[in-house]
Structure 1
Amino acid sequence: MSDSHEELRKEVVALLPRMRRFARTITRNREDADDLVQLAVERALMRLDQWQRGTRLDSWIFMIMKNAWIDEVRSRVRRDAVFLPEEAGENVGQAAGDWPADRQHVRMDVQRAMEQLSEDQRMAVGLVLVEGLPYKEASEVLGIPIGTLTSRLARARESLQAILAGPQGATG
């Protein structure tokens, strides 16, 4: 194996925490997220020669993840699989001890609000707001124009604010 491939493998490993976070954002299920990350890593490592030097490795891998998830959803629809809701109180992205007790409920509220977004909006939020990809690269990963991405983000932000405000927002 060439040194460049070995270096790329190390870069892929360094991306694992971000990949896992993005996978949990789009799958809404810990086990599905772990499977998606594994599949994406396998595909990326098998296709390292397809990655173009000078482009962002994270964007390339996120695109692999997005496409793999779309394939999985289509497959489940064909099998009439049922998506089970995530268990209440599951810690996504961090151990419960990493969050102060008064912040834990806020994190859970945000997680529940994210689950209510459409898949398109969750992917946009996951790539731009959670993973920090520039709009241009996120739009390329999703295969949509930047204007569509900004529209999805705006609608997602509005939805999240409305969901998080809840009934107390109208009275308080």
Structure 2
Amino acid sequence: MKQGEIPVQSGCEYKQTEEIRIASLYPSLQRYGRFLAQNKWDGDDIAQEAVFRAFCAYKPCSINQALLKKIAYNCWMDTVRKRKREQLIEQPEQEGKETKQKNSGLVDHLLSQLTLKQAVIFALKEGFQYKSKEIAEIMQTTEFAVKSSLNRARKQLNHPETDERKVTFTNEEEERVFQFLQESLATEDPSILLKAIPTLHSLKSQAVSKPVLSVKQAPSNTLCMAA
């Protein structure tokens, strides 16, 4: 090589030089990533992803600190948006599980303190806001009998004579009542319970063959019941 000539790097040497240059930018990029994420693990992931995206989209000679930080910021925004989408998907599922557990405990409480008839009447009144006269038509009994049943149910729930016991089913029908009550309250759809009433032998003498009343929607606070 003559004096004054600039040595020409081979492709391999040039690549190594650029990689060394970009590697020198990494510590600053890593600190920036941790600043964005406010934790070490996510910050390091952001820095690594930014370098990967930079190599995929740009020539090594055009990669600099400003570009890497811009890519890192976009990586973090993508991560934030992804997590928000996941939360929106998971939230209804979680709420559904919590609602099911809540309603299951509520029905347990009703059946641990009340008879099957009282539990059904109480759910129609307090859970779905049916009037006593409407419940009497559904149960094919008198309005006085419904009011008496509700009065006894409220007294028992407010001042139980015995401690709440674990609900155990002595027959298949009790289990069916539990399921119908739970499903109706969970879906806020009384039609599930109304359609089942005529099939329940313990209520058969009081049930109409087909409910003639309009189906009501349950209020948001499904049962206004004293603990």
TM surpasses 0.5: no
TM-score band by shorter chain is 0.3 to 0.5
Q: TM-score, normalised by structure 2?
A: 0.31
Relative contact order, higher structure (CA 8 A, sep 6+): 1
Larger Rg: 2
